[in-house]
Amino acid sequence: MKIKLDENFPARLVSVLAALGHEVDTVDAEGLAGSDDSRVWAAAQADGRFLITQDLDFADVRRFVPGSHHGVLILRVRAAGATALFDRIMRIFTTEATEGWVGNTVVASDRKVRVHR
């Protein structure tokens, strides 16, 4: 899966997700840190990437209709910090069938994953 990590995720996820077979780019590496949502979204779509973010604006399935984009995972964890984000992403990508998420809107909390197809 081609993935774009939003700016608030730990950089160490790039190598770990790559080791799992994913092609990973980041908002920071692309020089988009601090950019508005529409610019980040356009960059992810132009490159055919599945966006991983914490930004709830992307959870609006009326605006981001599943099947009309390359996919988005919105992560909602209670614990703050890079370690909590890293741990949850790793759990998701080692236990869930993420390859089937392309084109879908996925919302993941600490305990559950919901896929909007």
Residues 6+ apart with CB under 8 A from 61: 105, 116
Would you state the structure tokens that stand for residue 29, as one six-digit string? 């590496």
Whether the full predicted model's pTM is greater than 0.75, yes or no, is yes
Work out the percent of the chain whose per-residue pLDDT is above 90. Answer: 98
Angle between helices 82-95 and 12-19 (to 10 degrees): 10
Beta bridge mates, 106: 73, 115
Contact (CB, 8 A) for 48 and 56: no
pLDDT of residue 9: 94
Q: State the Cα–Cα distance between residues 113 and 92, nearest whole angstrom.
A: 8
Beta bridge mates, 114: 107
Q: Is residue 21 scored above 90 in pLDDT? A: yes
Q: Is residue 80 scored above 90 in pLDDT? A: no
Degrees, nearest 5: CA angle 2-63-35: 60
Contact (CB, 8 A) for 24 and 17: yes
pLDDT of residue 103: 97
